[in-house]
Amino acid sequence: MFATAVPSLAVIGARVAGCALAARMRRLGWQGPISLWESGRGPGGRASTRRSRHDAHVRLDHGAPLLSISSSPAPAVLAPLLDGGWIEPWGGGLAQLDAGGQLITGSTDPLTHGDLYRGRGGMDQLCHGLLELAGSDVELHSQCLVRDLAPTAHGGWELLDQQQQRLGAADWLVLSGSLLVHPRCRTMLGWPEPPLQPLARTLGDPQLERAAAGSAAIDSSPRCALLLLIPPAASWWPTPAQLWPGSIPM
């Protein structure tokens, strides 16, 4: 039995999945408190946008530059995101670099199939729009790393920080990312093991143990991302007069 009449929900990870879950739960009628816990500077995860501290017009997508919708019918949340101006259709070209550094126009990546959209003003607008649909009472805790989880006496969960101090609590818990269950946390953060692994063993829940083992088995390797802002060719490609001052155009 929960401690409150209206159960609360905590979502760890304010990436697209976590923000979409909050929006969907509200649309399905969930009335309880919803909190999102994000270690980054804001919502988005790999669909976030980095902005220059010196020029408000300079921005770079941190990861996913586009959103692809291939299901039919489209998710119900798509229309309000478009109507609210959070996202817009993408009709531009696509190109990608192969392993040898060659630029290939177009894309054969299955993730680019279907109808393409982008965040209006940056891909992070997708998650901001989802949180807007979830309602103003949804609490977003940014730059807040959840280090451990502890079951409570009434069947809920406590969220703990690096010093094992209580960050918050909820009756229901959703992990929208894999950091607390995947072994990559050992190389990234120096943790001895993923926090969910010993917790699953302690609780003795076979389904939770299988889910944790399945998530831990997902292959993962570190990657470095290089963000480049490339201006339109017409603005930086030199003219003959710029290359050879005083020359006479032919």
Instruction: Please classify residue 32 by burial: count the beta carbons closer than 10 Å to its beta carbon, then call 0-12 exposed, 13-18 middle and 19+ buried.
Output: middle
pLDDT tens string 91-116 = 888 888 777 878 888 777 777 888 99
* Residue 232: CB atoms within 10 Å: 7
Question: Which pLDDT does position 239 carry in this prediction?
Answer: 58
Q: What's the rounded Cα separation, in Å, for the pair 199 and 5? A: 26
241: left (phi over 0), alpha (psi -120 to 50) or beta: alpha
Condensed to tens digits (0 to 9), the pLDDT of residues 6-49 reads 899 999 999 999 999 999 999 999 999 999 999 988 999 888 88
Q: What is the torsional sign of CA 81, 86, 87, 88? A: positive
Top mean-pLDDT range of 1-10, 148-157, 222-231: 148-157
Q: What are the structural domains, with CATH classification, of the chain? A: 9-66+76-86+121-177 (3.50.50.60)
pTM recorded for the entire structure: 0.83
